Structure 1
Amino acid sequence: MDTMNKLAKKMIFGLLCLCCALGADGQTLTDGQIAVQNLAVSKQEDKLFVAMDLDISALKQGSNREVLFTPSLTLKDDSLSLPAIRIAGRNRYYHHLRNASDTERLYRNGERNLIEYRVTVPYEKWMGRARLSATETTCGCCDAPLTSTTTPLSKLRLEKRVPTPFVPAYAYIRPKAEQKINRIEGSAYIDFPVNRTEIHPDYRRNPEELKKILSTIDAVKNDADSKIISISIKGYASPEGSYSNNIRLAKGRTETLKEYVRKQYVFPQSLFTTGFEPEDWEGLERFVTSSQLKNREGILALIHSDLDPDAKDRKIKATYPADYAYLLSEVYPGLRHSDYAVQYEVRAYTDLAEIRSLLKSQPQKLSLNEMYLVAQEMEPGSDEYNATFATAVRIFPDDPVANLNAANTALRLGDLKGAETYLSKAGDAPEAIYARGIHAALLKHYDAAQPLLKQALQKGVAQAEDALQQIERIRQEMAEDAE
């Protein structure tokens, strides 16, 4: 029977070593007098197996001394003391025998060099990531502990750790309520008789070009929620001809167009502002820059020169006659245009159902504040909620608050690339600094995230404190896994 038990022990020990050899070979306890060898821990179904050999050949102790060796498992608030073994001097050994003490794990010092420690306990999930330690307590003749030392033996890795996710809160900003001033712009190409300033509404393409202006005005004028604040018109002439005459033409044609529009509606003069550009050299430059003209660079050099406008035009014509002929027939007509803009105010909306409807049909009529207000009635993170902030940044693409709130939505959806784009235009508000810290943390760039989050916390973003604590926990887990 003894032979069979020894064989079974060897088989179990071999199995343990195959399952999880966590070697602490050569680790010493009790000032180097006890050496831990062949440490192995494994799990099978609902049992945890712990095995180690204790080399006590170097242990020196008096007859009235003993060492209590107690392994334990600990993980945060969970702990379990494993069965202890007692290595006693002669007098202490017989004391325990006479007093019917637990002698199952009682050993007399000097009788053997190696103690085989084998324990099986019910397995709990926390044990898979626990620390295995050993506490050696030296006792005297009255069972009074004289010294006690706890030594870590190994960290168990029987359970794969599920990384703690970083789940931040998001700090949206409520936009300020403000007057809603919108603007619609366009360009019309009105044909005037040569060297004249009067308009003929039926001349060439004038019907459709005039309709463009009037349709823009009608779209605002016929909207009960909108009020026209101003209409601006700026006329341009092309560079051919004398500059002084082009001043007359650009100014006169702009005034004529303004009066034509005003009389269609009987608008007051005070509603209009006008301006003119005698010769549209900027428009010519844009065309030539993007063209494939043979002498493009030479023409651009003349455009950029300090020559007066009339001298520039003559020089281009004389130096590059073929290209000039092309510009005169194909490009100059497009430089004779009238840019117009209708500025208008949209009334404020307070009914959330109306705002919800406008979000789908006419979001350009809403302010950022109105979009934000209706989003507060939606489920955070829902499709409707996310779409609201996406619409806000589409209507107000350069607004820092719109970009910050859109960045928060992108972060919530895991779109880190999109969030980065929005954050580049989100400004430097404390919430924007916080969002950049969250972005870095979600990318696992914790060294970059922590200073940003600390700065945001100092500036009053309360959510930053929890984010920092989460990062600390994650970094602690990473350090533990690296050990």
Structure 2
Amino acid sequence: MKHILHYIYVLLAGLALLPATAQGIRISSQEFSIRNDSLQIVLEMDLNDVHVNSLTAVSFTLVLQAVERQDVAMELPPVVVTGSKRFRFERRERALISGQAAAIPYLVLIDNRKTVSKNIKYRLSIPYAPWMQKARLLLRQELKDCCDLQLLGVDTLARVPVLDTGSQENKPLPAGKRMATVDRGDSAHAVPCQAREQGCAPVSAPVKPVRKPRDTESLVLYFDYPIGKDDIHPDLKNNRYEIDKIDRLFAPLRREHFVSVRSIRICGYSSPDGNYGNNERLAGARSRFFSIYLRSVYGIPRGLVEVSSVAEDWEGLVDLLDRDQPPYREAALRVISRYGVFNGREKYLMELQAGIPYKDMLKHFFPRLRRIEVIVRYEDDKTEEE
């Protein structure tokens, strides 16, 4: 399901009187669509006429706002065009306040003589919410210099079309939210997006099922696989232990024919090491084969199962670094925040401190990121009969 919007041209007249001048920016809105429980947004931004001096930066922040309630809105990660000195100042400021939460841009473009193109493909997946059925897309423009942040204006770009969520394939889940995924293209200085709400359980030790009325139960599973295989082999290494955890949760549900279950969500994760394409295939295949195993063993109706995957779980790695506090934590987090997935992030991590932190992460962190998470969501009328 795709919804094509018209071509949009935004004139930033206010910039002409400021140190950061622009003749205008051009935004081609290509697609709004729903896939599973996520709203997919695809835009093309032409910022070639936006220029700044070395000490200033202009940020372009997209805001999704409910039409009927202006207090209901979601800010998306901004695109920033910055001068080289301003970029260094901002980087130093982030390092000094690393303990505080800060908005991370979708993309930072340094405007200098080496800048070849400012054409940006803005592709973002965000958790779907019902108010997005009737929403507008705004563009907020702000100028930052040495001592001030100035609002240049807020423009309405488009009205998000009312999305048809009637089909099973594209219908948003009634509850729970997927991790956002971002395609950052080839531009330099891409950094991670944090406009997300995470529905899968956080990285941690396996979660013991706890039955709660009108609530959920979750499992975190760590399977071993034969080389070149993606299906479940129950008797391989420690897989039997993981299978027993599954059985303790699903055997009682099978006896009651899953009448109390609203949905079963399966999310497969790969660690960040290695080729992105291979990791994406691996996470998708293993979550898909696990769903086949689960349905065949326990007779789960196909319509109850929702499958998703995360190619490289960088957010999980950040969580582990924050929790375990290895001596290289701050240095590794700086690399992760500074470089995009497709702009050498793993390479810079491998080069950090002669490769010692990366080897430690390979041994102690990455294996904990390769997992399958299962969330069982029950109907509202579920009671504690068991």
| Class of the TM-score when normalised by the shorter of the 2 chains | 0.3 to 0.5
Higher RCO structure, 1 or 2 (CA under 8 Å, sep 6+): 2
Q: Which has the larger radius of gyration?
A: 1
Greater percentage in helix: 1
